[in-house]
Structure 1
Amino acid sequence: MPSSAPTPPPFASRRGLLRAALGAAVVAPLAIPAAATAAHAADAYDTLRLTWRDLLLGTNVVPTAEPFASKLAALGATAGDLRSAMAPANGSLWPDLPYADPEPDTDAESYTYSGNLNTSYNRLRTLTEAYSQPGTGLTGDSTLRAEILAGLDHLHDQAYNANQVRYGNWYNWQIGIPQALLDIDVLLYDVLGANRVAAHCAAVDHFVPDSAVASYTGTSTGANRVDLCRVLALRGVVGKSSAKLSRARDALSPVFPYVTSGDGLHADGSFIQHTYVPYAASYGAVMLGGLSMLFALLKGSAWEVTDSGRQVVFDSVEKAYAPFLFNGLAMDAVAGRAISRGVQRTDTRGVRQDDHLRGHGIIACVALLARSASAAEKARWDGMVKGWIARDHYSPLLADPALGVAALARLKAVQDGTAPASPEPSGHRLFPGMDRAVHRRAGWAASLSMASNRITYYENGNGENLRAWHSGSGMLYWWGDDFANGQYSDHFWPTVDPYRLPGTTVSRKPLADGEGGTWGAARPDVRWVGGTTDGTYAAVGQYLKGLSSTLLAKKSWFFLDDAVVCLGAGIHGRDGAGVESVVENRNLGGTGVHAFTVDGAAQPTTLGWSATLTGARWAHLAGFAGYVFPGGATALKALRQARTGAWSDINKGAETSPYTRRYLTLWLDHGTDPTWAAYSYVLMPGATQAETAARAADTGWLTVLANANEQQGVRVPALGFTGVNFWLAGTVGDVTAGAPASVLIRESGTTATICVSGPLRDGAPIDLTWNRPVPAVVSKDATVQVLSTGSALTLRITPGTLAATHRAVVSLG
């Protein structure tokens, strides 16, 4: 611990303080704290306190009925373990969580100690909830209450008080600890006494002064700002301070407006935190959760949030969050370093995270935010929530061990409500503000993760997410409606080969843990990343430069009804290492047989099998997908293997237990130091073997118009689809672009829709010529100028700097 941290006084024994506190504690008559009623509300602050109590504990909880009974029993069991292990000593409240060291060796130790202090307060919060909730076996236990109070006093006297100088991670002192402390104060308010309340408020004021939200910069933006406002608001409630409540409410306002770069919500639905990291499923979820709680707390009070900008938050449910939720999971492409937190070592029973559990948390936030929304919004959101609950067969939402009782109660109320369940929508969404794309069709969904000079390859920090180096190198995730929903949930990240993430093109050059720097520092010096969409189909591209390597590549994806057409060109490297483009790396789980067929021939199912499948025209993995290789694959390789890894391999704070999962990997081997190599393949999620073979045999279904370093494009006549990514100006088929652009043309009957974007974001005009008879332009965006019609169409697009899609609808001659 830094020298600024005082050395706590010694104790006679590990449990001496606890025994002394129990002997001196004033024990109130046994009562069920959850029975508090509005009769206790002597003023507006007490009303808010009881409102927050309900938000923390939930309402209409039937402790003897599911899904509550097992949840409450598990809470009681966890609290019982924590209670048994609690042993106050010099510098710790639990033996495994020392928060004091008179002679720290490194800054990392200071981070560990502050984190342990944070965890200590959160353990006390767990004990307090077990005391306050019904049906835990510890409800209203006066001895437990005295132990909690003794623990609070211990931590206050030794570490979190108005005279302490903070050390380690700022987050613990300004957000993690005070949030847990103030929640405890709300739940135990009637037994704390005025002196404790005053001391706790003084400690919070010391570490979280009003100046923490004075400017919208640094660690006071986005989700962090909302968390700080929650602290200030609860400080105002517990300490009965109108000024604190007003400060918290007013400090939320900078969170609401859209931003055009950096942290916050973008108009296209992107959410960024840490300047460069797509984070809707982690920090964004925290922000949504904090705002939903604060809106509900202050609703109807003198401090209600009335800033009209809050509509941006309501709009974000369908613009920024729902697009990344599928069958109850939240897509890992927008979860940052949280993907490495599979099983944490924070408590005796462990804390697990995965894409489903992160999704469940966001869905619970939506259910709560609906209480503050309009009637129309609430009706839509209740239908969405009900649909997600119904469709998450892989990880049933109402059985989620990570959801608290209050969240569970809110979700159960929606499930039991009258709103009809909404299905998963179809369509395509581009998020140029964070180099992400999401595609949804009947029966499946996919997301694409890219990187640019604006968006990091990956984020690591605090020892987390150490090997996700290539997750921004064109990683293509996909899921089925009732299959393949556990691909990334089932211990994928610690067991997958990190050099073979599906969809990516990578150099096999060895990389160090955390290569490229922390907190999103690793970003390629490229601008052309993005695409265009008509809302149904899309053309997307990435100019790829490898992380800490000489690798170069141009990658394009064309998202269609039942397939994604994937092209790569200009693949070049001089690292003295092999270069690969990964078609698939399917997590097959721990058991089961998944037949793999190539051109109709069954391949071995034994682990360790590998083969080179040069010339293969199609492949099929039973239960998952089909893969088509136009013209026959060059140097296609396949491998079945079992891979073993631990979460601690990629996250220093995670569980050390090993897990083994089986994988079927397909990749195109470009060899060592390739020169302008290329590839093409078609991914067909959910396709049967017969459908895959038929697609491969239908040579007229797809025409590859170009697959070169300058342009990449395809035409699918059956869909009336043409998509071209112009890395440089030029002509592909019937389309000529006078500047770099992404172009999509979709013909339907007597009209066609033309969509264009400028991924370079330099604002330079794009002249586009379509060498087809076009009598007239039916409609167009204001950014589109018609230069000529007739035997050919020429448009001039003024694209702006946000890589938005610009549209024109034309009649066909």
Structure 2
Amino acid sequence: MKKQLLLFLLITCCTAHAQKSFSDSIALIKRNYIHAILGEDEGKRVLLKQLATIPREQEVSDQNVIELQQLYPISSKEIKRLISTIGTDGSWKDINYSDTKRSGWEPKIHTERLLKLTKYYHQNKRKLQQSEISRLANAIHQAMDFWFSQELVCKNWWYNQIGIPRTLGPTFLLFEQEMSEQEKQSAIKVMMNSAFGMTGQNKVWLAGNVLIRALLQNDWKLAKEARDVISSEIILGQKEGIKADWSFHQHGPQQQFGNYGLSFLCNMSFYSKLFARTSLAFSKEQQKILSSLLLEGYQWIVWRGYWDVNGLNRQLFRNADIDKGFNLRFAAYSLMKSSEPEVAGKIQEMIDRNSISSKAPNPFIGNKHFCESDYTIHRTPRWMASVRMASERVIGTELVNEDNLKGYYMADGALYTYVRGDEYHNIFPFWDWRRIPGITTYESNAPIPNPNKTDSRNHSSCVGGVTYQQTGITAMQLKRNKLEANKAWVFTDDYVLCMGSNIHADSTATIMTSIDQRFSKGKVWSDGNKRFFHNNTGYIILQADTCITLTENKEGQWKDFMGMYRPEVLKNKLFSIYLKHRKDMPASYIYLTLPATTQQKVRNFDSNSIRIIRNDKEAQAVVIKDLCYVSVYHPTQILIEGQNPIAISEPGTYIIHTKKGNFVAHRPFTTGNSI
């Protein structure tokens, strides 16, 4: 009997200890979560100070930007305004609670204000007078009860299951001690709209909301399950999520660096820090994957703090290039705190390098082709360039919830070059969307096609790129809307060589290739309609039918391509340069884009240093110094002066050493591996 009693006491003691341990872990994670919500991290003060100099967006739909704006300091004046304007029913008159938009749904503003009020309450409840605290707490109860009673539902499932719980969840954690039991049960009901499921970043968002519910319910088992679901996405080789080349896919085989991928990295860096030094901490392998996603993927696409247009995906919001750059730096800092010292040092360098006020030479250089995303980045100390493509393997672009209404051509070989970083900042309202820099398409005044109603795929697998040392070649066979073209880009330290061949269509419409379209800054210099210089970039036409340059006063509005915005006509002046092609036979072109140059350098450039070997239906090949850059679309031979013919049987991109006569790099279009 004594043995049984001792055993019972031992089991009871162990169970109590385990429950206390679990309770302590829940309490610790809850404290960590609140600490993160409030931004109480001295190391981020420099970033917060820089962020505070950027005016907040007034119309926001991008979840990344919403969460970025939550980091801004909250002023007492703003809180007083919210308290003074709240109605007796807990609503605000300036919010359209009947809004039916699928993007930028206005009722979500109510939840953002609730989060702001609870953050301010939590930060100042010991500093304010009792009367002020009472008025603030009363406003929070009113606003919270209004939301609970109205049970508003958006037509876009994302808000109901992800966006709203993700905003209100932290609100509930901050105000948990002041909530009545009825309010707490209503809060848990809101969080019940999220359940485990889906893939990629959506899966992470949902699991993160379940985690908050577990914290509110003090449910250790559910918290651990949520953590396991979150960490299960820190893996390579899945259809969606992190790819082997360190790009990110969502909505099928589609590059999503700036949308779902950025949210994934921001969330994972948050959870990495949240779970650190607890039993839920990510493994070393998971930490390594996250740091590699940052250093081998994301740091390539940001230049001086500005996000590459080709990495914005469908989220062409106002100030998106700056806001997403800030998002990345905050995420990098959180990830750095959980990384090994050597990795942390590299992350800190990336953070410092991407200050938008930095004018120092850029030390992170090289050429990278993201083979699983048909996306190339080229970086030198003075400038960066990017090319975005599509293929039978990779979806080029999407139109969802009235985001990206005019982006049908954005993956047809779009080429952007950056020196300052702001060359295309907020340019989209003024663009001719058929003259996106780098693309080849029809000249027309017809509406831009809807990719959800029109065949939007590029029907060719001949898309890819390869790198050798600090240079590279990228190529794309465009087969879309009965138009065909072979397009290749050779990246060097001083310029991008652009080649096009076999350009033809089953149509009488004129075909054009856009060289560039950016804001007008100063005069345009030209020399015989072959050499041009504008602002910091030169353009040299080596072969073309007709070259046209325009400086135009343009009007446009954000709502034309991003449906969430209010109507507002804006004006600006744009510079554009493009080529018109012949209709009677397959056309071709060869031109150079020279970023970070001068008018004198453009005038004196020796075009004989570039030896074009082929630019036809089967192949494109050029010799620059000791290297021959080749893109092959059909089996052929390449004839390099002083060498025997080189037979290439497999379509792909190749770099050949002209003196040695051997391949130094090649990648067939059918594989993602560099050989």
* TM-score (norm: length of structure 1): 0.72
Distance 1:616 1:135 in 2: 69
Residue 656 of structure 1 is matched in structure 2 by 567
- Measured in 2, the distance between the counterparts of 1:488 and 1:144 equals 43
3-state SS of 1:278 partner = coil
Decide whether aligned partners of structure 1 residues 620 and 727 sit closer, same or farther in structure 2, where only a CA change above 3 A counts: same
Alignment match of 1:711 (pick from 614, 619, 626): 619
Matched residues in 2 for 1:75 and 1:585: separation? 41
Q: Which residue of 2 aligns with 1:721?
A: 627
Distance 1:277 1:374, change over 3 A: same
Would you say the 8 A contact 1:567–1:678 is kept in 2? yes
- Is residue 86–residue 139 contact of structure 2 (8 Å, CA) maintained in 1? no
What residue identity is the alignment partner of 2:463? Answer: V
Q: What's the offset of the Cα at 1:100?
A: 5.3
| Deviation of 1:633 (Å) | 4.5
Aligned to 2:355: 389
How far apart are 1:327 and its partner, in Å?
Answer: 0.6
- In structure 2, what is the equivalent of residue 362 of structure 1? 328
Among 513, 520, 527, which residue is 1:581 paired with?
513
Contact 2:362 2:381 (8 Å CA) reproduced: no
1:527 and 2:461 correspond:
yes
1:318-349 Cα distance to aligned partner (Å, 9 max, x none) = 1121111111112121221111x21xxxxxxx
> 2:539 aligns to what?
627
Cα distance change, pair 285–136 in 1 and its aligned pair in 2 (3 A): farther
Q: Which residue of 2 aligns with 1:427?
A: 366
Corresponding position of 1:22 = none
Give the 3-state SS of the residue equivalent to 2:335 in structure 1: helix
Q: CA deviation at 1:457?
A: 3.3
Which residue number corresponds to residue 646 of structure 1? 557
Of 465, 469, 472, the residue aligned with 2:411 is 472
Picking from 261, 266, 284, the partner of 1:284 is: 261
Structure 2 counterpart of 1:508:
443
Q: Distance in 2 between matches of 1:423 and 1:678?
A: 35
The 3 A distance-change label for structure 1 pair 129 and 232 is same
Counterparts of 2:455 and 2:344, CA distance in 1 = 39
Work out whether residues 208 and 230 of structure 2, in 8 Å CA contact, stay in contact via their aligned partners in 1. Answer: no
Pick from 177, 183, 197 the counterpart of residue 184 of structure 2.
197
Residue 486 of structure 1 is matched in structure 2 by 422
1:138–1:521: structure 2 CA closer, same or farther, 3 Å change rule?
Answer: farther
Check if 1:677 corresponds to 2:612.
no
Output aligned runs, 1:692-703, within 5 Å: 692-695=602-605, 698-703=606-611
The Cα of 1:744 is off from its aligned counterpart by 0.8
1:451 aligns with 2:390: yes
Change (3 A) 1:573 1:79: farther
How far does residue 664 in structure 1 lie from its aligned partner after superposition? 1.3
- From 292, 304, 314, the equivalent of 1:337 is 314
1:138, CA displacement in angstroms? 8.4
- Counterparts of 2:102 and 2:614 in 1: how far apart (Å)? 52
RMSD of aligned alpha carbons: 3.0
- 2:434 partner SS: coil
In structure 2, the CA distance between the partners of 1:135 and 1:283, relative to structure 1 (3 Å rule), is farther
Q: Confirm whether residue 536 of structure 1 aligns to residue 470 of structure 2.
A: yes
- Code of the aligned partner of 2:639: G
Match of 2:342 in 1: 376
The CA distance in 2 between the partners of 1:515 and 1:371, in whole Å, is 44
Identical counterparts, % of pairs: 22
Secondary structure in structure 2 of the residue aligned to 1:655:
coil
2:273 equivalent among 272, 275, 296: 296
C-alpha distance in structure 2 between counterparts of 1:560 and 1:598, whole Å: 23
* Secondary structure, aligned partner of 1:464: coil
Residues 485, 502 of structure 2: 8 Å contact kept: yes
CA contact (8 A) 1:558 1:566 kept: yes
TM superposition shift of 1:450? 0.8
Give 3-state SS (helix, strand or coil) of 1:150's partner.
helix
Distance 1:167 1:711 in 2: 52
Does the Cα contact within 8 Å between 1:556 and 1:725 map onto a contact in 2? Answer: yes
2:666 to 753, 756, 759: 756
CA distance change for structure 1 residues 133 and 511 in 2, over 3 Å: closer, same or farther? farther
Asked if 2 retains the 8 angstrom alpha-carbon contact of 1:278 and 1:335, the reply is no
Q: Show the counterpart of 2:249.
A: 272
Residue 54 in structure 1 maps to residue 31 in structure 2: no
Deviations, residues 149-175 of structure 1 (Å, cap 9, x unaligned): 111111112206xxxxx6522211221
Q: CA deviation at 1:305?
A: 2.9
Q: Pick closer, same or farther for the CA change 1:573–1:83 going to 2, 3 Å.
A: farther
Q: Judging changes above 3 Å, is the alpha-carbon distance between structure 1 residues 597 and 528 closer, same or farther for their aligned structure 2 residues?
A: same
Structure 2: distance between partners of 1:737 and 1:675: 27
Letter aligned with residue 526 of structure 1: S
Judged with a 3 Å threshold, the aligned counterparts in structure 2 of structure 1 residues 751 and 550 are, in CA distance, closer, same or farther, namely closer
Match of 2:655 among 736, 740, 744: 744
Deviations 1:475-513 (A, max 9, x none): 101111xx3x22221x21111111111111111244545
Corresponding residue number in structure 2 for 1:436: 375
Classify the secondary structure of the residue corresponding to 1:53.
Answer: helix
Find the aligned partners of 2:51 and 2:540 in 1 and give their Cα distance: 48
Q: 1:69 to 1:515 in 2, by over 3 A?
A: closer
Relative to 1, partners in 2 of residues 1:655 and 1:74: Cα closer, same or farther, differing over 3 Å? farther
Residue 313 of structure 1 corresponds to 290
* CA positional deviation for 1:193: 3.1
Cα separation, 2, equivalents of 1:76 and 1:69: 16
Q: Aligned letter for 1:94?
A: W
State the partner residue of 1:571: 503
Instruction: Report if aligned partners of 2:101, 2:564 keep a CA contact under 8 Å in 1.
Output: no
* Alignment partner of 1:155 out of 119, 140, 147: 147
2:530 is the alignment partner of 1:596: no
Tell whether the 8 Å contact from 1:434 to 1:455 is kept in structure 2 after alignment.
yes
Task: Measure, in 1, the Cα distance between the counterparts of 2:81 and 2:508.
Answer: 54
CA distance in 2, matches of 1:629, 1:259: 43
* Structure 1 counterpart SS, 2:106: helix
Deviations 1:452-475 (A, max 9, x none): 123233221101110112111111
Residues 680, 120 of structure 1: CA spacing in aligned structure 2 closer, same or farther, 3 A cutoff?
same
Shift of 1:55: 0.5
After superposition, what is the alpha-carbon deviation per residue over 1:208-251, rounded to whole angstroms, capped at 9, x for unaligned?
23xx23xxxxxx22211221121111111122111221111111
Q: Is residue 126 of structure 1 aligned with residue 60 of structure 2?
A: no
How far, CA to CA, are the matches of 2:485 and 2:666 in structure 1?
22
Task: Give the deviation of 1:80 after TM superposition.
Answer: 4.6
Aligned-pair CA distance for 1:525: 1.5
How far apart, CA to CA, are the structure 1 residues paired with 2:444 and 2:83? 49
SS in 1 for 2:559: helix
Out of 560-569 and 188-197, give the one that drifted further. Answer: 188-197
1:528 corresponds to which letter in structure 2?
C
Instruction: Look up the SS of the partner of 1:628 in the other structure.
Output: strand
Q: Secondary structure at the match of 1:115?
A: coil
Shift of 1:304: 2.6
Letter in 1 for 2:600: A
**C-alpha distance in structure 1 between counterparts of 2:159 and 2:218, whole Å:** 24
TM-score (normalizing by structure 2): 0.86
Which residue is equivalent to 2:12?
A: none
Q: Please tell me whether the aligned partners of residues 579 and 674 of structure 1 are also in contact (alpha carbons under 8 angstroms).
A: no
TM superposition shift of 1:425: 1.0
Asked if structure 1 preserves the Cα contact closer than 8 Å seen for 2:362 and 2:380, the reply is no
Residues 50 and 73 of structure 1: CA distance in aligned 2, closer, same or farther (over 3 Å): closer
Mapped contact 1:541–1:555 kept (Cα < 8 A):
yes
Distance in 2 (CA, whole Å) between partners of 1:186 and 1:805 is 49
Residue 645 of structure 1, CA deviation: 0.7
Distance 1:136 1:656 in 2: 44
Change (3 A) 1:179 1:577: same
- Conserved 8 A contact 1:531-1:538: yes
